[in-house]
Amino acid sequence: MSKPTERDIAGIRARQAREDYNLFSRLPAVYAASRSQGQKFLQKGGGLSIVEWRTLWDLHEVGPMTIRDLATIQRADHSLLSRALPEMRRKGFVTMRRDVQDGRQTIVEIAEAGRAAYERAAPVMARRRAALHGVFSEEEIAAFVGYLDRMEEFLRIPIEEFLKEDTVE
Amino acid sequence: MSKPTERDIAGIRARQAREDYNLFSRLPAVYAASRSQGQKFLQKGGGLSIVEWRTLWDLHEVGPMTIRDLATIQRADHSLLSRALPEMRRKGFVTMRRDVQDGRQTIVEIAEAGRAAYERAAPVMARRRAALHGVFSEEEIAAFVGYLDRMEEFLRIPIEEFLKEDTVE
DNA sequence: AGAAATTATATGACTTGTCACGAATTATTT
DNA sequence: AAATAATTCGTGACAAGTCATATAATTTCT
């Protein structure tokens, strides 16, 4: 690290420091860290994947619902669930049946093995949430979520809105 | 939406509302929205991928650097860069050469086509950052980044730290 | 100097997420 | 009632990440 190599170390440091304040660059990193930590906790709690955990948790908390309901709650694309569910059914985690009232919908319900897997993972995940609440107060979480709300709102503005204006602000 | 189907609509709504305050569930969604918006902007600006854009931007700003430098600045795993760079070289975006001082390192430098691609994308991306600054003040960004810092710190605590304690907080 | 540890890179295998499109079903308009 | 529109789900194709492991080169330790 003392050898003079053909790059501008000070420039690199400076850029790094500046990028700390670039939200577009911070979000991927924070998300990746969150996913990674989540996967490790789940590993300790029986080996569920994140999608499996979220799905079992939702189904456990509110009962049977459609694929779309799950996607909406999880703020994810329906295709993610659509792809994960058949495997979960194979493992005996859930049952799936076509809705009688609306033939487009599939109703997903937690099953025996799913309940068992949930019970195994839940304590570890509860521990994680508790630890988070040891770091952030209620008010801080609300403030943080407020920023995320505003960020999300910004991110959902259709791109034309930005490019047509000649003056920003 | 008025037909009574076999699921607890109120429960689903309630869960959705509660999940709004679950940071672990908000982060993926906000990140995904950011990525998606970024891709759309890049589409308008010549069709670079996100990794390509970040890399060209870094190289343009600070000059030649190693793969590790790029990964550090971008807060990403080096393998992401390691995989993306050969294709970028093929497109004439960058050159790569083994460092003479340290034979482990590869020095990446922006090339002609890379500079051109950067120039095409930069205005659009600058527009995006400007728009963001129309939504968040300097102080707000600092506060937001502060929360992200603390969140990231929390997320990097080794898992054993959580599980060994018998009482949280 | 030689052994052991560290570091940089490449690569395989995997997860999470997107978008776009098609098929089936339901809802709305005319 | 028929035509049109909207919604649900499945699936292909892809991007952006991770981790683990291997190899080569450099540093550090004894």
Q: Please provide the DSSP assignment of A37-81 as one string.
A: HHHHHHHHTT---HHHHHHHHHHHHH--EEHHHHHHHTTS-HHHH
Rounded to an integer, the average pLDDT of A120-149 is 96
Nucleic acid strand D: bases within 7 A of protein CB: 7-13, 15-20, 24-27
More confident residue, A34 or A168: A34
pLDDT single digits (tens) A97-124: 999 999 999 999 999 999 999 999 999 9
pLDDT single digits (tens) B122-152: 999 999 999 999 999 999 999 999 999 999 9
CB pairs under 8 A between A and B: 238
Question: What does the alpha-carbon distance between residue B148 and residue A29 come to, in Å, rounded to a whole number?
Answer: 10
What is the CATH architecture of A13-156? Orthogonal Bundle (1.10)
Annotate chain A with DSSP letters as a single string.
--S--SS-HHHHHHHHHHHTT-HHHHHHHHHHHHHHHHHHHHHHTT---HHHHHHHHHHHHH--EEHHHHHHHTTS-HHHHHHHHHHHHHTTSEEEEE-SS-TT-EEEEE-HHHHHHHHHHHHHHHHHHHHHHHHS-HHHHHHHHHHHHHHHHHHTS-HHHHHH-SS--
Partner-chain contact B143 A140, CB within 8 Å? no
pLDDT value of position B2:
40
pLDDT single digits (tens) A75-90: 999 999 999 999 999 9
Burial class (CB in 10 A: 0-12, 13-18, 19+), B103: exposed
Domain map (residue ranges) of chain A:
13-156
Q: Does A5 touch chain B (CB under 8 A)?
A: yes
What is the CATH architecture of B16-128? Orthogonal Bundle (1.10)
Percent of chain A with pLDDT over 70: 94
Q: Which of chain A's residues have a Cβ under 8 Å away from the Cβ of B21?
A: 141-142, 145
